[in-house]
Structure 1
């Protein structure tokens, strides 16, 4: 049986909790002024109900500042504990370590123990460990609230040399965004940085900027700093160290992988809490100590959150529901696809677009893809993972395959080959069902206007033809590796041509239920300009995982994004309502999976939008699917997966683990230790599901289980997705649209209003 540890340490107070505090009228300017002047000696809290500022003296000798003073009992006012703990941590680390943030409190590790070391490397280029501390609450099944500190380990790239220093060392700044330093509100923190623009020209010591913040048409090179994004950080090291860079970066990568591993991550958290507990003696206020408990363990049954391991979702492979399996690959091989009796056409017309110099290699690959690789076996039972091939697996007839070759790898030549394919179909009165396009790994680095993949995709999509790409590097894999790539590709291809591989075995409910993913992406190339524009993306699924439709808003400024999104949502629900013939009195449940936490005004607007549809019995659940959060779950019984060291996923939780943090929050492991590809992938992370308080359907266990089922229901790959497909599909749509929109001549309405928009063209 698994034994879990959560990187959450309960906190309590010790000593006399009654303290004297000050109170004064609230204003935003006054609160900012107080925190800037007295942040080292007092904690300030806004009291919203009273519209007042409360100040708490936290160091010896400090007195209340407010003109009104009162005695409070800290044990009964847990709302202050978070700020008091943060202030205590800042006092503990100030002067000992570099501090970058006061919320969450972020502490950098020692520069001398940095992960990038070389005698020729300037001291201001560093990769350092970091610790982040947040105060969080867990609510037990009894209703008891447990307040604690969550400690997380991170890595930070640091470039503290100015652009002037970088240019002297041969590092280019042209085309890159730059920042300037601002003094922090708290002088115990390192300076803050503000993004001001992208360098378009260098005039001596002056950088001329485009896409700049107001008032920053230029900036002095000695006052500007490059962002420490990974690609920029690595490029700086390569430019400075030359031939020595590869070994330095490889060593840094190895050290980073070790730091992200389960054992080292857990050790760092435990050592930090031991240091704070035993050597620092944190105080909330003078005479009132902060007692840090040990990390929560499932052995502590009375205070550990409710936990379950959810079973794999059951998949259905025929309309009668008699053919089921909880493993997609096994189920599809054994039973065939869900719609095998109704899918049409059985005989496909396939266009293959490839470079002329690779035609023979692509020809062999396509033959393997269609007919299978029965002689390639793996595992202890010598299973042929792709022995059936695309045709037999999906019960199709031998297709008509025609090759169209591009003279080079340019977007223009790929476009010419694509138009040749469409011309042939038009002249002979038939339609292509799918285009297989050979691409290369390096195409990913090309912008949309010069990317052969997007040039080809844009041409075919405008004619309602789905596109499946395959990398040349994939074709050169060994047969033992290739069978896995073929498995994924065959699934996505069948879904793109309108097939239904399987559905979820939905639990029978009285209500009509829709699961709706809400996503968005920016279509502007600007990061700072006021003209940023957004597209809202909606994906709609029934409770059995049937993909009903996707829709998206027009391109609108951000201040109109919400209105446009709600109009799209109204249109989507109306379409499904008509298709399924809902009556106004039917019970309806709408579950929204949202890419960002919804604001109250957004939740209210969605409710009003649906109210306008005239449905009398509707419940809502607004679920923020949050990949970014501080929680880590360690499975102390997980010794690692693999036959030899180093093993992958040591201490990593298994897929399906659900830790219920309360009635409004749950941790769910969508992709666990077994789903890691290699030992260097570190720890699998849970996803945090957060239920908005205006939700009228509040069964968090039901919602967590449903989200988990949707993560195992992808028709893009046979392995589980790291997020529910409601969110994942929205991300894929956004990614594809971003590439297509930079292709000259692309018609954005082709997907929105064309027949192809009703398919899974984006997989």
Structure 2
């Protein structure tokens, strides 16, 4: 390995510097102090004090008392000071944001759409008003590759900024449906938001809004542009380009890869470093300068390992952990699922709802699902050489079931095409459920592809799912285009579908290897869902989401808290956590003196809510008679760091190399005493050569934890990325985070369905993976 980060060392010219310090216990007053000091001073508040550094040689407004500060004791202050200096280095660039410092490429040859129009001839003229610019994000950060050697680095991220400069009238004249897209201001004064509102309609140069900030009902078209989101691009360009859209997207992906794949990122880092060196030194404070140094490399020494490779993950298919395999489907096909012996629904009934106009295709699909499919490899003489199907056994044989029953229930679509699809599906399903004494164990809902994209309120899948979940029936949807695939593609669809379906019926397809050295170990995901679904209304309705797993990945339960306001959430989190921990304590029979390890995963911090503190109090209360080892981790892809492995040459597929400089899955890099970077992807997992360099997971251990082995905890996070039963491939996040995101996404969408209630999710479906 030859590991480096996406940043440059900042070398300080002295060990101390002069700053001016004033006591300020209440940080709410810092705004008025900054207004009084104006541009003469840089100011920074921390732990009851304001630190000031003059921006000019002679100040007119005095501030604080001079103090000589030690650099290594005030690295966060220095990082903020350097961030404040960045605009003066990039004077030629208009900042999109100051912290972190964000700006766009200015050279026209770096704009992506113009490169596409040069490559694909004859595109409509309006395409030139769509722009994709490289976006640069610079952020000073503290890093400590070795425990006691903290330093400052300037880190660079590369993204893209999408813009639509065409007028709304022109877009509408091209046939684009503008309803429900968002508009932003062309220019704004200080204090104004850029985002204005959501389009209802455009009439006579006036944009009428269905939602907006500040209760604006309408705005003049000349004042706004369509928001340059990927959703806006997709809708506009699909309409304008029609059948040529796929070619455009392919070209866009290729152009974007020239910016975001490993070698491109590496080249940009070298170019940025050369530019920054030419602007050095940075005048940080009186007597203190900062020089841009070398790229940050992560090198192991004989005394200390800063980067390690986790062991490859083995999937387990029995409680004794004797049946193992490195690939989940091969293991299931060979041994059966982990819960094969004790699965309580050996003869499940699965009801299949489908449009009556697709009955033939559905019957063929269900036969293949039930009995398996055959794909013969034929030699040049027409003789069968071997069976190549990856789904030969069928659902019953592979998953150890006995005579599973598939009940086909057509939706009367042929005579009701004039009605809303959601109404047709809902009425038919209600009628079926009303005449049943015993509910099925699961349902499959088949949809037309066009129906899947309907708004939530009118979406037949969401309306069907809401109705069936409230009846205690987990649901698996599938599109008509998927069930009609050739066998070569269908085999993989069936693999993913059957794993998810088995898990939804409370089955456990696989777990991971885990050595149990203590009485009990649980891994608990803590998440939230905001239910309004609006970008404009104040977020008021929250639901807490908790998922509980054994350390081997066995899913124990999921819990949804009561709906609450943001202010009520801390108390609701406390109550639900206490309830869950007490339930697990009783269920797992914790005894006095037992050593119990509780590992909590959360995706993000909430403003003014110390989740770790609340969790720690709950753990102490429930485990007062046990020896509790407690760790609280925040785990996120949203951070400024990237890892490159310069020794990684990638792999060749179809004569094209992919994954150059992408670290292997399981690479763990120390970033600080409490922080690690974990690579969850790899060249082999990257889908195509144009896939951008993967972003690692940032794992941060809360200092209040009582279990500190970050290597063990990072390896556990890696194992939990392999426990998603939505697909046979590892998830980008551990399932503690990933499942919470899936639940949150579905809850937010289901809340738009009339009559929906999540009550059954905490009762009959508590152990079901209904959200897969």
Q: TM-score by structure 2 length?
A: 0.88
Give secondary structure in 1 for the equivalent of 2:684: helix
State the partner residue of 1:436: 444
Please state if 1:329 is matched with 2:324. no
Tell me which of 113, 118, 136 is aligned to 1:116. Answer: 113
Alpha-carbon distance in 2 for matches of 1:17, 1:611: 42
Q: Are 2:549 and 1:541 aligned?
A: yes
Q: How does 1:276-287 map to 2 (within 5 A)?
A: 276-278=276-278, 281-285=281-285
* 1:227 CA displacement: 2.5
1:17 to 1:139, Cα distance in 2 relative to 1, 3 A: closer
Output aligned runs, 1:178-189, within 5 Å.
178-180=183-185, 181-183=187-189
Matched with 2:120 is none
Q: CA 1:88 to 1:575, structure 2 compared with 1: closer, same or farther past 3 Å?
A: same
Equivalent residue, structure 1, for 2:261 = 261
| CA distance in structure 1 between the partners assigned to 2:368 and 2:127 by the alignment | 52
Deviation at 1:723, TM superposition (A): 0.7
Matches within 5 A, 1:680-699: 680-699=690-709
Structure 1 residue 296: Cα displacement: 2.3
Structure 2 match to 1:295: 295
SS at match of 1:756: coil
Query: 1:299: Cα distance to partner?
Result: 5.2
Q: CA deviation at 1:307?
A: 1.2
What is the match of residue 414 of structure 1?
A: 425
Q: CA contact under 8 A between 1:22 and 1:64: conserved in structure 2?
A: no
Residue 561 of structure 1: aligned partner: 569
Of 79, 87, 93, the match for 2:90: 93
Matching residue within 731, 740, 760 for 1:750: 760
2:395 is the alignment partner of 1:390: yes
- For residue 153 of structure 1, report the CA deviation from its aligned partner: 0.9
After the TM superposition, which of the residue ranges 232-241 and 477-486 deviates more from structure 2?
Answer: 232-241
1:102 equivalent in structure 2? 98
- Kindly provide the CA deviation profile for residues 471-498 of structure 1, in whole angstroms up to 9, marking residues without a partner as x: 2222233322222222111211111122
Q: In the alignment, does 2:527 pair up with 1:527? A: no
The answer to whether the 8 Å contact 1:657/1:669 transfers is yes
The match for 1:469 is 477
Instruction: State how far apart, in whole Å, the 1-side matches of 2:650 and 2:149 are.
Output: 35
Q: Deviations over 1:685-736 (max 9, x none)?
A: 2111111222222221121111111111222221111111111111112222
Is the counterpart of residue 636 in structure 1 residue 646 in structure 2? yes
* Cα separation, partners in 2 of 1:412 and 1:44, compared to 1, 3 Å: same
Q: Please give the alpha-carbon distance, in whole angstroms, between the structure 1 residues aligned to 2:739 and 2:510.
A: 17
Q: Which shifted more, 684-693 or 469-478? A: 469-478
User: Compared with structure 1, are the counterparts of its residues 658 and 743 closer, same or farther at alpha carbon in structure 2 (3 Å cutoff)?
Assistant: same
The CA deviation at 1:662 is 2.4
Matches within 5 A, 1:205-604: 207-214=207-214, 216-235=216-235, 250-278=250-278, 281-285=281-285, 288-298=288-298, 301=301, 306-376=306-376, 383-408=388-413, 410-422=421-433, 425-426=436-437, 430-530=438-538, 532-597=540-605, 601-604=610-613
Partner of 2:162: 157
1:657 aligns with 2:667: yes
- Measured after TM superposition, the shift of residue 320 of structure 1 is 2.9
SS of 1:293's partner is strand
Could you tell me how far 1:47 is from its partner in structure 2? 4.3
Aligned counterparts of 1:141 and 1:425: Cα–Cα separation in 2: 65
The aligned residue for residue 606 of structure 1 is 615
Shift of residue 200, structure 1, vs aligned partner: 4.1
Task: Work out the CA distance in 1 between the residues paired with 2:520 and 2:640.
Answer: 36
SS in 1 for 2:652: coil
Quote how far apart the aligned CAs of 1:539 are.
Answer: 0.5
Q: What's the counterpart of residue 673 of structure 1?
A: 683
What does 1:119-130 align with in structure 2 at a 5 Å threshold? 120-121=125-126, 125-130=130-135
Q: Deviations over 1:131-165 (max 9, x none)?
A: 11112222234521132111111111134677689
> What is the match of residue 54 of structure 1?
52
Per-residue CA deviations over 1:539-574 (Å, capped at 9, x if unaligned) read 011112121111111222222122222222222112
- Distance of 1:346 and 1:79 partners within structure 2: 59
The 2-side partners of 1:548 and 1:20 are apart by 56
Counterpart contact for 1:24–1:66, Cα < 8 Å: no
Q: Which moved more, 1:68-77 or 1:647-656?
A: 68-77
Deviation at 1:279, TM superposition (A): 5.6
**Kindly tell me: are residues 718 and 37 of structure 1, through their superposed partners in 2, closer, same or farther at Cα, counting changes over 3 Å?**
same
Distance 1:614 1:343 in 2: 31
Q: Which runs of 5+ in 1 are unaligned?
A: 186-191
Corresponding residue for residue 626 of structure 1? 636
- CA separation in 2, counterparts of 1:62 and 1:245? 60
Task: Give the conservation status (yes or no) of the 8 Å contact 1:296–1:304.
Answer: no
Alignment of 1:65-104 (within 5 A): 65-70=61-66, 72=68, 75-76=71-72, 77-94=74-91, 96-104=92-100
Shift of 1:536: 1.0
The answer for the alignment partner of 1:739 in structure 2 is: 749
Alignment partners' CA distance in 2, 1:110 and 1:7: 22
Q: Secondary structure at the residue paired with 1:385?
A: coil
Structure 2, unmatched stretches of 5+, are 118-123, 379-384
- 1:9 CA drift (Å): 1.6
Answer whether contact 2:519 2:596 (CA < 8 A) is retained.
Answer: yes
Q: Which moved more, 1:690-699 or 1:38-47?
A: 38-47
Deviation at 1:304, TM superposition (A): 9.4
Q: Work out whether residues 55 and 66 of structure 1, in 8 Å CA contact, stay in contact via their aligned partners in 2.
A: no
SS at match of 2:159: strand
Q: Is the 8 A contact 2:532 2:748 kept in 1?
A: no
1:165–1:222 contact (8 Å) kept in structure 2: no
- Contact 2:16 2:68 (C-alpha < 8 Å) held by counterparts: yes
Aligned-pair CA distance for 1:392: 1.2
Q: CA RMSD in A?
A: 3.3
- CA shift, 1:608, in A, is 2.5
Confirm or deny that 1:4 pairs with 2:23.
no
- Identify if the C-alpha distance between structure 1 residues 302 and 6 changes in structure 2 by more than 3 Å, giving closer, same or farther: farther
Aligned to 2:599, the other structure's residue is in SS state strand
C-alpha separation between the residues in 2 aligned to 1:242 and 1:453? 27
Deviations 1:439-491 (A, max 9, x none): 23333321233212122222322332222222222223332222222211121
The answer for the alignment partner of 1:131 in structure 2 is: 136
Structure 1 18/595 Cα, relative in aligned 2: closer, same or farther at 3 Å? closer
- Taking the aligned partners of 1:6 and 1:144, their CA distance within structure 2 comes to 16
Distance of 1:758 and 1:175 partners within structure 2: 37
> Is the 1:519–1:594 contact (alpha carbons within 8 Å) kept by the matching residues of 2?
yes
Check the 8 A contact 1:140/1:303 in 2, yes or no. Answer: no
Mapped to 2, the partners of 1:653 and 1:304 lie a distance apart of 20
Distance 1:381 1:12 in 2: 63
